[in-house]
């Protein structure tokens, strides 16, 4: 076990705590050193078994590495890619470990990946509170946005990329030219570029990217929404919708593209076992599609943690916390199942899972699928969703705020969470006086508590130890 510099979680189901602790132990063994040959960061997180570092995996790794109490460098995972930016702003999807050169393939000649850097940077800012960093990386992100525009934006204002750029390589989306996920991701990129501009108090940047965001939002809503199906579809070159329901339909929710009526329809699909509400929620292809494979079949039905994470974060945007928690717990049980198999088999966690029954997903044509120990994916559930949606904590360092949506009166909480040179502990326990929250902190911060969606109160928490009774709030 690694030295416990990361926060300790408390939860009444010990299996959840064990897999959280175990994940940090595994992460300890996933670090590599850059060198003069590859020009990569001095220390970077990388899942073994591949020859290159991947942008999609690196971006998602920041969402759990921020909880390592600065033991592991989260921002460095992004800097590795920023340092490789080319003159025209290009940042490629993969860089070889041997020489640091981009890996460009026939099915993705420009090496483009979902443009999620700005989303990750916004999350980093709220977890680490480094405004100086936002100022430093803004020119990189602006050049990258311009490269995406110059290379992939078409006359209709939408972005046209190869299927490989969506990461859903064998998804049955034949005939599609404008993918709803990539276009929503670029809208998300603009949305968070505007937010980063606001952080810097740069009204010009904020306004410019808000305009780009609204332009994409309008096009996605007008061309890709299907009222009768209640989903967003990809479209072809003539703007005809490709009637295949994939998990891509939920990306627009992450940046407030659908209105409330449409959100209700989309959430209906998340709950519906006939489409996306399978026992292990959210298959990459709706369960009622002809190409759906109940064993997964790559992106024809497998459940991938980053996509489940995306849907849960979309629910969080609309304050659907109870649903987000329910789906998180359901997904975590599937991860736990392969970690603790029956009999003498050795347990592990996998890149993708089956939507209806226990075990890793299967893909007949691909013997290398799914990859074991792909922590860049699974840690999103075992660490990030565990803290944010099972225990229910939301943290903003710049605002010195912790919000706790207490989902159920059970023993749970967190110890030794680093809040910008301030370690805090928050635990719910039953005492002789009833349910109480015990708090410990080195400095003042603001604590918002919401019990079972009923009570909402923000209190300044002084340094030292204190406690509050839930019934008295």
Q: What is the predicted pLDDT for the residue at 344? A: 54
Residue 268 has pLDDT above 50, yes or no: yes
- What's the mean pLDDT in 381-391? 97
> Average pLDDT in the 315-326 region?
94
pLDDT at residue 372 in the model: 93
pLDDT(123) > 80: yes
Identify the CA nearest to 316 among candidates 240, 249, 392: 392
pLDDT digits (tens, 9 = 90+) for 6-62: 999 999 999 999 999 999 999 998 998 899 899 999 999 998 888 999 999 999 999
Position 458 pLDDT exceeds 70: yes
Q: Pick the residue with more confidence: 398 or 141? A: 141
> Mean pLDDT in the chain?
94
- Rounded Cα distance between 47 and 274, Å, is 34
Tell me what the mean pLDDT of segment 234-256 comes to. 98
| Strands 225-226, 94-96: pairing kind | unpaired
Residues 319/368, Cβ–Cβ less than 8 Å: no
Judge whether residue 239 has pLDDT over 80.
yes
The stretch 362-385 carries a mean pLDDT of 95
Percent of the chain past pLDDT 90, that is, above it, reads: 81
CB 433 within 8 A of CB 419: no
Mean pLDDT of 171-195: 98
C-alpha span between 428 and 59 (Å, rounded): 33
Per-residue pLDDT at 2? 38
pLDDT band at 4 (very low <50, low <70, confident <90, very high): low
Q: pTM of the prediction?
A: 0.96
Which domains, from first to last, does the chain contain? 15-27+57-69+115-162+175-391 (1.50.10.10), 412-472 (no CATH)
pLDDT band, residue 408 (cuts 50/70/90): confident
pLDDT at residue 26, as a whole number: 94
> Which pLDDT belongs to residue 170?
96
Cα separation values, 159 from 12, 184, 243, 297, 354, Å: 47, 10, 19, 27, 31
CA distance 235 to 253: 18
By mean pLDDT, which of 81-85, 293-297, 444-448 is the weakest?
Answer: 444-448
Residue 114: how many CB atoms within 10 A of its CB?
Answer: 26
**Residue 429 pLDDT greater than 50, yes or no:** yes
Percent residues over pLDDT 70 in the chain: 97
Long-range contacts from 460-469, C-beta under 8 angstroms, 24+ separation: 461/424, 464/440, 465/438, 465/439, 465/440, 466/438, 466/439, 466/440, 467/436, 467/437, 467/438, 467/439, 468/436, 468/437, 468/439, 469/433, 469/434, 469/435, 469/436
How much is the pLDDT for 360?
Answer: 95
Residue 259 has pLDDT above 60, yes or no: yes
For the chain, the maximum distance between any two Cα atoms, rounded to a whole number of angstroms, is 69
Residue 343 has pLDDT above 80, yes or no: no
Q: Which residue has the tokens 């020119």?
A: 139
DSSP letter at 89 equals S
Instruction: Tell which wins on pLDDT, 421 or 20.
Output: 20
The residues facing 449 across adjacent strands are 404, 457
- Distances in Å between the alpha carbon of 138 and those of 97, 117, 156, 202? 26, 11, 27, 11
- Tell me: pLDDT of 3 over 50: no
**Confidence band (pLDDT; 50, 70, 90) for 1?**
very low
- By the 8 A CB rule, do 34 and 41 touch? yes
């Amino acid at each position: 076990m690694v030295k416990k510099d990361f926060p300790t979680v408390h939860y009444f189901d010990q299996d959840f705590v064990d897999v959280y602790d175990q994940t940090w132990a595994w992460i300890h063994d996933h670090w590599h050193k850059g060198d003069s040959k590859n020009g990569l960061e001095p220390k970077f997180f990388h899942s073994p078994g591949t020859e290159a570092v991947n942008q999609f995996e690196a971006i998602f790794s920041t969402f759990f590495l921020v909880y390592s109490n600065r033991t592991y460098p989260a921002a460095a995972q992004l800097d590795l890619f920023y340092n490789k930016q080319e003159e025209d702003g290009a940042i490629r999807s993969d860089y070889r470990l041997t020489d640091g050169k981009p890996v460009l393939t026939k099915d993705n000649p420009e090496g483009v990946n979902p443009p999620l850097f700005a989303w990750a940077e916004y999350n980093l800012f709220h977890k680490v509170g480094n405004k100086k960093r936002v100022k430093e990386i803004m020119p990189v992100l602006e050049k990258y946005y311009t490269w995406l525009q110059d290379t992939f934006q078409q006359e209709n204002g939408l972005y046209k990329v190869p299927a490989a750029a969506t990461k859903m390589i064998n998804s049955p989306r034949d005939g599609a030219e404008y993918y709803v996920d990539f276009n929503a991701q670029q809208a998300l990129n603009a949305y968070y570029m505007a937010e980063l501009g606001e952080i810097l108090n740069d009204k010009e940047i904020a306004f410019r990217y808000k305009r780009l965001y609204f332009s994409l939002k309008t096009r996605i809503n007008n061309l890709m929404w299907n009222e009768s199906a209640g989903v967003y579809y990809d479209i072809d070159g003539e703007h005809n919708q490709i009637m295949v329901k994939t998990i891509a339909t939920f990306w627009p929710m992450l940046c407030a593209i659908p209105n409330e009526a449409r959100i209700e329809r989309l959430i209906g699909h998340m709950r519906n076992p006939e489409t996306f509400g399978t026992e292990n929620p959210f298959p990459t292809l709706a369960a009622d599609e002809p190409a759906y494979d109940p064993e997964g079949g790559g992106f024809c039905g497998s459940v991938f943690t980053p996509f489940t994470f995306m849907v849960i974060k979309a629910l969080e945007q609309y304050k659907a916390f109870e649903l987000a928690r329910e789906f998180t717990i359901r997904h975590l049980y599937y991860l736990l199942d392969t970690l603790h198999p029956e009999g003498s088999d050795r347990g592990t966690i996998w890149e993708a899972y089956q939507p209806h029954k226990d075990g890793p997903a299967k893909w007949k044509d691909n013997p290398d699928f799914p990859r074991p120990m792909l922590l860049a994916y699974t840690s999103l559930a075992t660490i990030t969703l565990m803290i944010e949606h099972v225990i229910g904590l939301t943290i903003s360092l710049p605002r010195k705020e912790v919000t706790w949506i207490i989902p159920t009166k059970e023993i749970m909480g967190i110890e030794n969470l680093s809040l910008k040179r301030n370690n805090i502990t928050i635990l719910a326990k039953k005492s002789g006086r009833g349910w109480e929250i015990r708090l410990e902190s080195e400095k003042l911060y603001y604590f918002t508590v919401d019990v079972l969606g009923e009570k909402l109160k923000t209190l300044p928490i002084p340094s030292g130890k204190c406690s509050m009774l839930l019934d008295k709030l």
